[in-house]
Amino acid sequence: MSQYSEDTAHDDELVVPIGQDILVVDDDPKNLVAIEAALGPLGRRLVLAHSGTEALSRLLEQDFALILLDVMMPKMDGFEAAKLIRSRERNRATPIIFITGLAWEETDILRSYELGAFDFLVKPVRAEVLRAKASVFLLLQERTLALREALARIHDRELAKLYQAEQAARLLAELAKRRALFLSQASAILGASLDIDDTLRNVAQAAVPGIADWCAVELVGEDGVLRQVAVAHVDPTKITLARELRERYPTPPDAPTGVPNVIRTGTSELYTEIPDAMLVQGARDPEHLRLIRELGLRSAMIVPIFDRGRAVGAISFVTAESGERYSADDLQMAEQLGERASVAIANARLYEQAKVAIQLRDDFVSIAGHELRTPLATLSLQMEALLQIRDDTPIAEVRHRGTKLAKQVARMSSLADQLLDVSQLATKRLELAHERFDLGALAREIVARITDEVPDARISIDAREVVGRWDQARIDQVVTNLVTNAIKYGDSKPVSVRVDGDATEAILTVADQGIGIATDDQARIFERFERAVSPRRFGGLGLGLWIVKQLVDAHGGSINVASTPATGTTFTVTLPRQPA
C-alpha cells in the first residue's frame, strides 16, 4: 500500500479542510510558467508539481483550494491521479479542473465528471478564461468556508436554511455541468457536416428539450432575405403554429426588438420573463394575440450568428411548457453556442467557395485546352503544306499561306493574352498606367483597324472628342473586344459605335442587330466561362466580357447590357474622365 493510500485510512473522521493555495500539475515546465503567469493576479500561492506522483505527495503535506490537473502526463496520467485524489476523504471536495491538449469526445467528458472533475479546459488555454474559471471555484471555496463558520454559530433553524442554500449551489453546479455537456454535444454536431442547413437543424433539435422548449434558427440569404432554416419544439404540433405565426405576422425589419434587431445590432437579447402584458403590447390584432398566447411563451433568448464579423442570422431559445426562466448564465451559454455556429457557417461557406473555385479551374483547363488545340492543329496542317510547296510556286500563293499561318499565330497570341489577363485580374495584380488621351480618336482608330482585318464588317462610328485619363492599352482592349463581339454575334448586320460624354464621364456605346441575348442570360454573361450562345458554334474561352468588366471596374466605371433576342444587343460603358 502506498503512503498516500495508507494516509487515506486515517481521514475518515476528519472534517474535510479547505486550503488557500492552488496546486498546478503539469509535466511541461512551459505550461507551468504560463499558468503561473495567468493566475498571478488572483493573489494565491501556487504550488507546482511536475507529475501525478509529486502531486499526491504535495496533497499529503497540505490542503489546497483548487487543483489544475494536466491529463496527458507520463507514468501517471491525469485521470489516474484524479482517481487517487478522490479516494482520500480529505481531498474528495477539492475542486479539480482538467487541462487537456486534445479535443475531447463525449466519453472523455463523462469520464472526467465521473472522476469528480468540476470543469475542463482545452489547450491552448486563454489566460483570462483560466483566471475567470479559477476565480469562480475559489469564490465557491471561500463561500463554503464561510458557510461552515456560520454553521458553527447558528441554531438548527438557520442550519436548515443554509442546507437549502448548499443544495441550491449544488443545483447550480449541476446546471453548469449540463450546459458544458450540451455545448460539447452541439460542437460535435456542428463539426459533423459541411451542409449548413443540416447542421443548424441538428443544433435546433439538440437544444430541445435540453435547454429550450422551442428553438429556431434564422439566416439572411445572399439575396438579403431573412429565412427560418431550422425549428424544433417539444410539442411537434406547435411547429406548424409557430410557422403560421411567423408567416402571418413577420417581425418588421426595423423592429426595436426581436430577431431583426439582433441581426441589425449584433447584440443578444434576454427576456427572463414574458408577462402577458408584453404579449398584449406586441400583438397587432386579437388573432395575433390568440396565436402568441397559444404558444405559451415564458422566457426567451436570442443570440446572433456572425460570418466574418457581420451578423448574418440568429438563434432563438424559448421556454414554455417547462416553465423555466432563463438567466444571464444561460445567455452566456447560448452566446457560446452562437459562436460555434458562426464558425460552422464560415467553414461551410468556405467549403462551398472552394468547390466552386475547383469547378472553375477544371472548366478553365478543359476550355483552354480545347481552344488552344484548334489553332495548333490548323497551324500544324498549314506548316506541313508550306513545307511541301514546290520551288516554282507563285509568290502570291506563298504569301497567302503565310497570311493563314499569321492568323493562327495571332489567334494563339490572343488566347495567351486572355489567360495572362485572367491570372492578373483574379489575383488583383493588374496595374493601370493612366495617361491623357482622346477616347473618340482611339475608337475611330480601332474601328479602322478592325475594318482592315475584316473587310466584310459594316461598322459605323459617331465619336466626338472626349479626353480623359485612362490606361490606353486596356481601354483599347475593352473597345476592341466589344466591337469584335458585335461583329461575331451580329449576324453579318451593321454595327454602330458611339462615343459621347459630359464634363465628368465618357460614354462608349457598341450596338449590333444580331442574335441578341435572352433576358435570363444577361445577368451571367460577365462571369468567367459564361456564354449566352453555344460554344460549339462560336468558340472562345468565355472570358472576353468578364475581362472587359474587370477592366472597366478597375477604372471605376460601369458596363451595362440591353438586348432583345433576334433584334440585337447594346453594351454601354461609362468611365470617369479622371481616376479616383
Question: What structural domains and CATH numbers belong to the chain?
Answer: 3-153 (3.40.50.2300), 193-345 (3.30.450.40), 354-426 (1.10.287.130), 434-576 (3.30.565.10)
pLDDT of amino acid 468: 96
Helix/strand/coil for 154: coil
pLDDT of amino acid 10: 45
Instruction: Take residue 20 and report the three cell numbers written for it.
Output: 488557500
pLDDT of amino acid 273: 92
The answer to whether 120 and 146 are in contact (CB under 8 A) is no
How would you write 161-194 as a 3-class SS string? HHHHHHHHHHHHHHHHHHHHHHHHHHHHHHCCCC
User: Beta strand 226-233 with 96-100: parallel, antiparallel or unpaired?
Assistant: unpaired
Q: Which residues of the chain have pLDDT under 50?
A: 1, 6, 8-14, 534-539
Rg (CA), the chain: 37
Q: What angle do CA 221, 227, 233 make, to 5 degrees?
A: 140
Largest CA distance in the chain: 130
The answer to whether 372 and 332 are in contact (CB under 8 A) is no
pLDDT of amino acid 539: 47
User: Beta strand 459-463 with 495-501: parallel, antiparallel or unpaired?
Assistant: parallel
With cell 476528519, the residue in question is: 14
pLDDT of amino acid 261: 93
| CA distances in angstroms from 467 to 14, 117, 282, 509, listed in the order given | 96, 77, 61, 16
The answer to whether 479 and 545 are in contact (CB under 8 A) is no
pLDDT of amino acid 192: 67
Helix/strand/coil for 149: helix
Q: What stretch of H or E contains 22?
A: strand 21-25
Q: What angle do CA 101, 104, 106 make, to 5 degrees?
A: 165
State the chain's mean pLDDT as an integer.
81
Q: What angle do CA 161, 166, 171 make, to 5 degrees?
A: 125
- Report cis status (omega within 30 of 0) of the bond before 250: no
In this predicted model, what pLDDT tens digit does every residue of 409-447 receive, in sequence order? Answer: 666 666 566 566 665 666 566 778 899 999 999 999 999
- Report cis status (omega within 30 of 0) of the bond before 286: no
